C-alpha cells in the first residue's frame, strides 16, 4: 500500500503528483497494483507560478490529525510513501515525523520525495522560496 502526502489538487495546470493522481486519484496506482491513500496538501485554482492563485493549504496540525485517524484505526501500514509539493516548513517537519515513524514500523519502507519546487515563469527562483531548501536537504 502507498501513502501519498503533499499531493497537489490544481484546477488549472498539470502539476503535483500527476503521474500517480490523475482524474481518478487512485486509478493509476491501482493499475500499477498499489492501493493509494492520497492526502491533498493544497487545493489551488492554479499553479503558484502565476501572479495570482486562490485556494486552501492543509497545515501541519491538520495533516497530523488525518494521520492520527489512520493510526487509531490501525490502517497506517505502508510499503511506499511519496511526497511532493508543500509551501510550509512546519508541514514538512510533520511529514518527516510521519515518515520516520513509518520507517520504524517497516524498515523496508521506500520513501520517494519529489519536492516540486519548480521555477517561476520568469525563471527567477523557485515557487516555494529558499526557506524550504534546508528542511529538504536534511
Residue range 54-89, pLDDT digits in tens: 988 889 999 999 999 999 999 999 998 888 777 788
What does the angle CA 93 – CA 97 – CA 99 come to, to the nearest 5 degrees? 115
Q: Per the structure block, which three cell numbers stand in for 48? A: 503558484
Q: Are 53 and 45 in contact (CB under 8 A)?
A: yes
CA max distance for the chain: 46
**Structure confidence at residue 119 (pLDDT):** 57
pLDDT of residue 61: 96
First vs last C-alpha separation in the chain: 26
Amino acid at each position: 500500500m502507498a501513502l501519498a502526502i503533499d499531493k497537489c489538487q490544481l484546477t488549472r495546470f498539470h502539476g503535483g503528483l500527476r503521474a500517480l493522481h490523475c482524474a481518478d486519484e487512485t486509478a493509476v496506482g491501482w493499475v500499477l497494483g498499489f492501493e493509494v491513500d492520497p492526502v491533498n496538501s493544497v487545493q489551488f485554482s492554479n499553479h503558484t507560478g502565476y501572479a495570482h492563485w486562490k485556494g486552501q493549504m492543509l497545515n501541519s496540525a491538520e495533516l497530523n490529525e488525518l494521520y492520527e485517524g489512520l493510526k487509531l484505526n490501525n490502517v497506517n501500514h505502508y510499503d511506499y510513501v511519496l511526497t511532493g509539493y508543500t509551501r510550509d516548513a512546519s508541514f514538512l517537519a510533520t511529514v518527516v515525523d510521519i515518515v520516520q515513524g513509518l520507517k520504524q514500523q517497516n524498515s523496508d519502507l521506500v520513501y520517494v520525495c519529489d519536492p516540486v519546487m519548480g521555477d517561476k515563469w520568469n525563471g527567477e527562483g523557485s515557487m516555494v522560496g529558499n526557506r524550504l531548501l534546508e528542511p529538504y536537504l536534511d
